[in-house]
Chain A
Amino acid sequence: MFFKNYQLTFMTTTFLGTLMAVSSNSWILCWIGLEINLMSFIPLILSDLNFKSTETAIKYFLTQAVASVILITAASFTALQMKNYYLESMNFFLFLALSIKAGLAPFHIWFPQVTEFISWFKCFIIFTWQKIAPFMLIINFNISVFTYFIIIMSATAGAVGGLNQMSSKILLTYSSISHSAWMLMLASLSLKFWTFYFLIYFFVLSPIIFAMNFLNFKKIKEINSSKINLKTKLMLSTLIMSLGGLPPFLGFLSKLIALTVAVKTFPMVIMITLVASSLVSLYFYTKMFFNSLTASLPEKKISSSEKKINKFIIFSLAGNLILSNLVLLI
């Protein structure tokens, strides 16, 4: 109904590739899982059938393939020394390859160029599912100066890159890069903290992308337009504020817990950079809906299509508000 047969096939293999990569205890099997994931995602990009899908697929393939080459080469060199391919053997180049795979700065240039021309659903997969394997493998690494460097660069690039962006997809891409900095910080500490942050990010992002897809929003100014009802605008605005980490929403909770657990381990510079980048990110999130709350535009009646998405958004909004307060009470 929503997906064609070949899309379902490739989505299944994409998911299987990630599961294979996170389930293995050898770098060879991790690499195979990541390759299956990559090769399965390329046809999904090409299935969009627009002129730019070929260029997008080439860019995605080249970046991920280079990262895979670095990964398998580094794993092989490490195996020569350690006499095995087990995941305990860590290497700077392995971390580098996984950073490229996850789209962390300064290896993030391909990310907005790819997400600009793919559908919203594929964007959602790239923002969430495609990050699982690299981050779960990064969990094995110790904290190092390179980790600090990547966190600072990703936070800065995510914040600065999202400024003056017209396209909502590119804006959410830079937001994803910014969130990846937080995820990297938590992944360096523990699997539990990273999983917690990732699930909240997934939960907060999914209604936004669902709404953007349904309402066919390509530009950030379209939220302010008179094409949608004020109630839908308010709900979307609230969800975006949650993504930006504004209290009392769920997005704030994830950042609060991240700061609480990381402040003992990470230097203050990292904390300050992350909080400052969150502030800057909040500025461009606010730009998306500011005019809709302040300008007086003719109000449109809620259409039947809007009613369908409004139910989903209300459910997510309730979760954003209730869950965060529940966890705080506990």
Chain B
Amino acid sequence: MEKWHLMAIVVLIGLTVRWTVSLNSYSGAGKPPMFGDYEAQRHWQEITFNLPVKQWYFNSSDNNLQYWGLDYPPLTAYHSLLCAYVAKFINPDWIALHTSRGYESQAHKLFMRTTVLIADLLIYIPAVVLYCCCLKEISTKKKIANALCILLYPGLILIDYGHFQNIYNSVSLGFALWGVLGVSCDCDLLGSLAFCLAINYKQMELYHALPFFCFLLGKCFKKGLRGKGFVLLVKLACIVVASFVLCWLPFFTEREQTLQVLRRLFPVDRGLFEDKVANIWCSFNVFLKIKDILPRHIQLIMSFCFTFLSLLPACIKLILQPSSKGFKFTLVSCALSFFLFSFQVHEKSILLVSLPVCLVLSEIPFMSTWFLLVSTFSMLPLLLKDELLMPSVVTTMAFFIACVTSFSIFEKTSEEELQLKSFSISVRKYLPCFTFLSRIIQYLFLISVITMVLLTLMTVTLDPPQKLPDLFSVLVCFVSCLNFLFFLVYFNIIIMWDSKGGRNQKKIS
């Protein structure tokens, strides 16, 4: 069958799954006075359409920041404005100032879902298709199967189309993916531009900023700082500055504007973590209530130190030995470090780690699939809160089947395929009997999957004991956190023990 037909079919399957998931209810459906984040998106359209730019981020009688105030960078605001224009064309009641609060109707729900699908179709899906087509050393069939698996990743689908909190994640992730494509294919300027757009869409993309910076810096060093490298550096700096200025232009006119936007984007006074997240601090909190014991600034410093200590080795290696493969793995480990140790992390931020993991699906299918399953599982409390149990289970199973059939992951668990060969050779210099690494990993996988299934069943069927109402959410977060720590170590091992950009280790399947 022709390649384009198969790819079209894969895209159609992805779109169908997305739309059917969106037919379920959304967060805050019918729950005044705050409703849910669906209302937040609608409210932003109302604000950006009716108020002048200067008032978007400020508290005023027309714009009550306590009621879903804007807390994303300007590009999100512009996008909301664009959607508002379309909404005005269809039904002005949807965005009427003040009177449209809590507006809920079948037509409006359809409108909001459609905007998400269109944004996905225009930005994220083409990036995925192009990325898979540009993969090297892989047969066409595998490329298309890769695209299918990435498009079926449950986490992104459930958050963007089911949960509806902070939707349009596919836009920022899509821009970031275009950025990865650009810098991997040596179109550094376009790649940087795309990534700047991503950061200006959602500030969470800053998790990916360091690897981009290190990779590009490494490229400049490689080209020599006296000649081409320096030119590249200057060009990149210009592009970055230009894109930021362009996006923030209305807000650069006054210092107070810029500061207010920054205050909305980075609410440092909200604490180390909120709700239950599969984070080190939240898990640690179970044993020792650090959130209450330590003062705020100490918490900040502590999280800062841990985050940077854990991502530093990989980043330094990337500067010294820039390679496309190293770049992707560093994206993973960097984002994972931020997720585990950083300040005010949301459960959805795991998507920032999942995207790079999707990108390395073809290189380490077994571990990537495992990680992506855990990432979906870590969001279970959130998904259950929105009554998304059926879509979660179905999409997870579909993803799992797609990965297993496409990559035959259970046959790829040897040391070489797990990219751990050089590591285990080094260890064997000191411990000659260290031959059971892949066996250990297989058992860990089994234990992990069984635990996840059991916890899911328990959360759904049983009621938590009276004294510990959050028992199951905390258990889910704790188990996910342990898994993520394991993956952090694993990915860092791959990066540090990778030699010559890994060209000699690929087996063509």
Decide whether A and B are members of one complex. Answer: no
Tell me the A residues contacting B by CB distance below 8 Å: none
Tell me the B residues contacting A by CB distance below 8 Å: none
